[in-house]
Amino acid sequence: MISSRRSSEVAPESHEEDLARPAAHASSLQHASSKALASPLEDDDLLREILLRLAPQPSSLPRAFAVCKRWRGLLTDPRFLRRYYAHHHKPPLLGVFETRSGKNPFISTLDSPDRIPPERFDLQRHINFPKSVLDCRHGRVLVKYWMREDLVVCDPITSEKHHMSVLSKFKGVFISGAVLCAAGDQGHVHGGCHSSPIKVVLVSTTKDARALACVYSSETGVWDNLISTSTPCQLFVGRFSGTLIGKALYWPLFTPEKGILEFNLEEQSLAVIKGPPLTNDFDMGNIWIIQAEGGGVGLAVLSYPFFQMWQRDVNFHGVATWVLQKTFEIHSILGLPPHIGRGTGARKTIVGYSEDADVVFILVGDSLCMVQLKSMQCKRLCETNHSVCYYPLTSFYVPGDFSSMGIIL
């Protein structure tokens, strides 16, 4: 009886607890359901993944940056930016700098809303002296003053500048140069590295017809020792920027079938490698050193009406041979009207190359065209009367660099 009464006394309490439990469970389900129905944009982790996949075009991050304070906080997080660079791996091609008469106007290669107005990257705002661009790579522009024996590396996005004097061996002579990011951290992506150290390489030809090179480091602020070739060679200086392939820079000699100048960045050494056996008529305005398929050294040759791509292959024994990889009829590549470029006085000239985008820039008549070498797709950029050289700018836009873009919102 006692046990029976105790059980009857306890039962109501137990029953009340059981009634309370489903209510709590229903509340938790309701909370979970409402969380599941909430917008993914309210979850920071999910929002980061979405923002990470935005196209690396100039208008993408600025538009996201302007949404709200919370989005701005995510986009300015250095950890997010490092992931963003690594995800896209290569920065977009923003446009080219044209060299003419001491001025270097910028020409965008993008369409609206990503098209960048020329004044956004007006080098005259940063350097108020007559100058000529020597090279453009990893978001930096290497510029030489005309009247002064000085160089400056300019970041057109942040407007930061780094000045350096030219060694006496490179004064009063024609020089070619290259600028590149010196950061070698694992996972580092060039093009978003506005604060990373840089290297500048200058090359020229001595009086006894030997190639001469020297390297400047922004970390030390000094030039390294002079390096020269052991055999005579005639470097084609002043017009070509160096082509970066792997750990080496390359410049053409006056006659590329006789050789190409190779500067090994790791070994700090100069060498002349034999060029391809070109048989068609061409001039130095019709060749450019490019990166071949597979990452080796290649050569683009415009021998009207054909466009050729050569590749340098090295076998297991270290013997190098040149192979003609592709030949195209130029009008089939460019998609231009048949009459353009057919006149004897019409220009048909290669005037630039981007390693990151793998595109060459060609002047055909008065048209500046951009040809993607893998797909052989062409885009006509503008009409121009100038045919010196075009230096491509590849870089990411990051939050904080948008104030003067003039292309967003």
φ, ψ of residue 331 in degrees (nearest 5) = -70, -25
User: Is residue 14 situated within a structural domain?
Assistant: no
- Is the same domain home to 42 and 84? yes
Q: Please tell me the predicted confidence (pLDDT) of residue 244.
A: 95
- Is the same domain home to 199 and 267? yes
- Is the same domain home to 189 and 65? no
Distance CA(201)–CA(339), nearest Å, equals: 42
Other CB atoms within a 10 A radius of the CB of residue 175 amount to 20
252, containing H or E segment: strand 248-252
User: Is residue 402 situated within a structural domain?
Assistant: no
Query: Helix crossing, 78-88 with 44-52: angle to 10°?
Result: 40
Would you give the end-to-end CA distance of the chain in angstroms?
Answer: 83
Question: Both tokens of residue 146?
Answer: 């005309």
Domain count, the chain: 2
Q: End of a domain among 69, 89, 109? A: 89
Q: Please tell me the predicted confidence (pLDDT) of residue 329.
A: 85
User: Is residue 221 situated within a structural domain?
Assistant: yes
Proportion of the chain in helix, strand, coil states, percent, rounded to 5: 20, 35, 45
Q: End of a domain among 46, 63, 89? A: 89
User: Is residue 18 situated within a structural domain?
Assistant: no
- Is the same domain home to 301 and 258? yes
**Residue 358: which of 278, 252, 259, 244 has the closest Cα?**
244
**DSSP designation for 393:** E
- Is the same domain home to 50 and 136? no
Write down the number of H helices and E strands in the chain. Answer: 6, 24
Which residues are bridge partners to 131 per DSSP?
A: 145
Other CB atoms within a 10 A radius of the CB of residue 45 amount to 7
Residue 59 DSSP SS3 = coil
Angle at 152 between CA 147 and CA 154, to 5 degrees: 135
**286: Cβ–Cβ under 8 A, 6 or more apart, which residues?**
301, 302, 303, 348, 349, 350
Range of the domain at 189: 90-394
- Is the same domain home to 328 and 385? yes
User: Is residue 406 situated within a structural domain?
Assistant: no
Residue 183 DSSP SS3 = coil
164, containing H or E segment: strand 161-165
**Residue 328: which of 380, 293, 372, 390 has the closest Cα?**
372
User: Is residue 186 situated within a structural domain?
Assistant: yes
Q: End of a domain among 72, 89, 106? A: 89
Report the chain (409 residues): mean pLDDT per 10 consecutive residues. Answer: 42 44 48 53 88 92 90 90 90 90 84 90 69 90 82 89 90 89 84 87 87 94 92 74 92 77 93 82 75 90 85 87 89 69 64 93 87 89 80 82 42
Question: Both tokens of residue 63?
Answer: 């538009």
- Is the same domain home to 246 and 311? yes
- Is the same domain home to 85 and 132? no
User: Is residue 409 situated within a structural domain?
Assistant: no
Q: Please tell me the predicted confidence (pLDDT) of residue 191.
A: 81
Cis before 113 (ω within 30): yes
Other CB atoms within a 10 A radius of the CB of residue 105 amount to 18
- Is the same domain home to 189 and 264? yes
**To the nearest 10°, the Cα dihedral for 38, 42, 44, 46?**
50
- Is the same domain home to 175 and 245? yes
User: Is residue 69 situated within a structural domain?
Assistant: yes
**Residue 256: which of 310, 327, 326 has the closest Cα?**
310
Q: Give the start-end residues of each E strand in 103-158.
A: 106-108, 131-137, 140-145, 150-154
- Is the same domain home to 164 and 105? yes
390 close to 352: Cβ distance less than 8 angstroms: yes
We report the CATH number of the domain holding residue 182 as 2.120.10
**158: Cβ–Cβ under 8 A, 6 or more apart, which residues?**
194, 401
Task: Look at the block and give the residue holding tokens 């948008």.
Answer: 402
Q: Please tell me the predicted confidence (pLDDT) of residue 360.
A: 94
Q: Please tell me the predicted confidence (pLDDT) of residue 364.
A: 81
Strand order in the sheet with 140-145: 131-137, 140-145, 150-154, 161-165
**Residue 376: which of 320, 325, 317, 341 has the closest Cα?**
325
- Is the same domain home to 177 and 279? yes
Question: Both tokens of residue 215?
Answer: 């390297």
